[in-house]
Amino acid sequence: MNIEKDAKFSPNIRIGKNSMLGENCRVYGGVTIGNDLLMGPDVKIYTKNHTIKNRDIPINMQGEEFKDVKIGNDVWIGANVIILPGVTIGNGVVIGAGSIVTKSISNYQIVCGNPAKLKGHR
């Protein structure tokens, strides 16, 4: 495992063999990362979101909900990618720089954009 300069992460993440956390990344909450992950700089992975269901209660008083993120083996996450709560990323996936991942990604897909959309397959 290789952790680059200024990477910040929660103690409850699981990281597989030969995986790298990119410079200045932020990985919070229940995140499982497979083997051979390549992560660019400034990637953000979130597992927490604010609850907003009740309009009669201020958002900051409604609490939070957590959804784990799972990342498979042999994945490349480009620079400045944001991965949102509850997402599962399959094996062999490539995520283009600057993408925002809002939905799960199947094995060997290449995605990019905001929101991240399928651009091809490996």
**Region for residue 29 given its phi and psi (left: phi exceeds 0; alpha: psi -120 to 50; beta: otherwise):** left
| Identified catalytic residue from 8, 17, 48, 50 | 50
121 catalytic? Reply is no
Place of tokens 């991240």: 116
Neighbours of 81 (CB within 10 A): 25
Residues annotated as catalytic are 50
